[in-house]
């Protein structure tokens, strides 16, 4: 907790009768890369807006860099944020937009990491063109350039690849990956599960404003109920596993077996197979993050 850059505790947010965020708590420590997952309307954007001081919480505590978040609080200068789509003054050039945004709070443009930011944006001479002539992908890249101008310690990214084509999505994903390799702390909200699986080390899953699950990506994937097993004698393993009370069903698949767990752990299966004298060659979760995510939403149960 001492190294927590983001600390959210008991956060709730009402919009009239609608409860957008319900008793949500999490922390992000230095150099962690958290994914914030959830379907549309889960409360992800509201949470990030509260974190950035744009909205006030109805209840709970939100702290950034160990100081409470208030509208336009000074520690926001240490954060690079992209909340929903990047927005600019359309009748000004990309470069002028960067300069005016940077200077708006009195900072000198000479102090900004302009070279680094422009290298990220990779807009070439287009940086001198009016933003209204940019494609959505160019605007998003300029948005990344803007948030990197201040060499931020924390990146808060809300759906940064929305509206982009597959090539642009890959570019942005690789960019986030490079930033995380450089040690950036990242909180990434997305419903692109592949993006989160590839970029994030830890994941928070929200649904109906509540925390449904949290943990490392591998923990969440492993928490699913479907397990793939390979052994030296597939038929005998079928008989052994089918007899276990914690197994709901067994299917033969390829060189192995697909086991649907009712309530047990993978280690129960391993113990039973080894105990029956079988040689266990593979046992792994038979799902990716998408399966785990959808399974969590179906069950909407808390696993941590």
Partner 1 sequence: MISLVRTEFAKALRRGRTLAIGLALVGLPSLIVFAIHARGNGRGGDNGEGLFRLAHQSGLLVPAAVLEAMSAFLLIVIAGSIAGDIIAGDAASGNLRYLLMRPVRRGRLLVAKAFVAGTLIWGCTILVTVTALVGGVLFFGAHPITVPGLAIGSLFGGFHLTVTTLLERLAIATAYVAFGYSALLALGTFFSTVTDVPAGAIGATIGVYVVSEILDGITQLGVIRYGFPTHYLAAWEPMFTQNRFPHDMLAGVAVQLAYVAVFLSAALVWFNRKDIRS
Among 25, 27, 31, 85, binds partner 1 (CB under 8 A): 85
- Stretch near partner 1 under the rule CB under 8 A, chosen from 92-100, 262-270, 281-289, 291-299: 92-100
- Stretch near partner 1 under the rule CB under 8 A, chosen from 46-54, 114-122, 225-233, 239-247: 46-54
CA distance 52 to 88: 18
Give, in degrees to the nearest 5, the angle at Cα 152 between 190 and 111. Answer: 140
Task: Answer yes or no: are the C-beta atoms of 290 and 205 closer than 8 Å.
Answer: no
- Which CB atom, from 52 or from 272, has the smaller least distance to partner 1? 52
The minimum distance between CB 112 and partner 1, in angstroms, equals 12
By the rule CB under 8 A, 299 interacts with partner 1: no
By the rule CB under 8 A, 67 interacts with partner 1: no
Among 27, 96, 246, 253, binds partner 1 (CB under 8 A): 96
Among 30, 59, 77, 111, binds partner 1 (CB under 8 A): 77
By the rule CB under 8 A, 178 interacts with partner 1: no
Q: How many CB atoms lie within 10 A of CB 222?
A: 16
* Matching residue, tokens 């200077």: 103
In DSSP terms, which residues pair with 185 in a beta bridge?
Answer: 154
Among 6, 28, 81, 283, binds partner 1 (CB under 8 A): 81
SS3 call for 160: coil
By the rule CB under 8 A, 52 interacts with partner 1: yes
By the rule CB under 8 A, 135 interacts with partner 1: no
CA–CA distances in Å: residue 240 to residues 167, 236, 253 = 48, 6, 16
- Which CB atom, from 14 or from 234, has the smaller least distance to partner 1? 14
> Could you tell me which of 125, 136, 141 has the C-alpha nearest to residue 163?
136
Among 9, 23, 29, 84, binds partner 1 (CB under 8 A): 84
Among 87, 119, 252, 274, binds partner 1 (CB under 8 A): 87
By the rule CB under 8 A, 100 interacts with partner 1: yes
CA–CA distances in Å: residue 129 to residues 53, 109, 241, 251 = 31, 19, 65, 60
Task: Answer yes or no: are the C-beta atoms of 84 and 49 closer than 8 Å.
Answer: no
CA–CA distances in Å: residue 186 to residues 80, 150, 180 = 10, 15, 7
Residues of this chain that bind partner 1 (CB under 8 A): 49, 52-56, 71-74, 76-77, 79, 81, 83-92, 96, 100-106, 146
């Amino acid at each position: 907790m001492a190294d927590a850059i983001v600390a959210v505790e008991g956060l709730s947010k009402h919009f009239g009768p609608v409860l957008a965020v319900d008793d949500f708590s999490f922390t992000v420590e230095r150099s962690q890369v958290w994914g914030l997952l959830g379907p549309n309307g889960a409360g992800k954007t509201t949470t990030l807006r509260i974190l950035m001081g744009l909205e006030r919480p109805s209840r709970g505590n939100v702290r950034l860099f160990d100081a409470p978040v208030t509208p336009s609080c000074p520690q926001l200068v240490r954060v690079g944020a992209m909340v929903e789509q990047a927005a600019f003054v359309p009748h000004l050039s990309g470069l002028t937009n960067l300069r005016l945004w940077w200077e708006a709070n009195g900072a000198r443009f000479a102090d900004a990491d302009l070279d680094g930011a422009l290298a990220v944006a990779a807009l070439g001479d287009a940086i001198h063109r009016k933003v209204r002539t940019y494609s959505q992908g160019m605007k998003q890249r300029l948005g990344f350039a803007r948030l990197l101008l201040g060499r931020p310690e924390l990146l808060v990214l809300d759906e940064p690849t929305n509206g982009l084509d597959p090539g642009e999505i890959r570019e942005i994903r690789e960019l986030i990956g490079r930033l995380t390799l450089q040690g950036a702390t990242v909180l990434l909200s997305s419903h692109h599960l592949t993006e989160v699986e590839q970029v994030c080390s830890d994941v928070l899953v929200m649904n109906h404003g509540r925390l449904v699950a949290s943990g490392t990506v591998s923990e969440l994937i492993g928490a699913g109920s479907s397990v793939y097993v390979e052994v030296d004698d597939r038929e005998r393993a079928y008989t052994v596993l089918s007899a276990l009370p914690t197994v709901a069903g067994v299917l033969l698949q390829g060189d192995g077996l697909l086991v649907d767990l009712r309530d047990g752990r993978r280690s129960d299966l391993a113990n039973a197979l080894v105990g029956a004298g079988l040689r266990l060659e593979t046992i792994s979760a038979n799902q990716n993050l998408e399966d785990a995510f959808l399974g969590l939403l179906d069950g909407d149960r808390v696993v941590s």
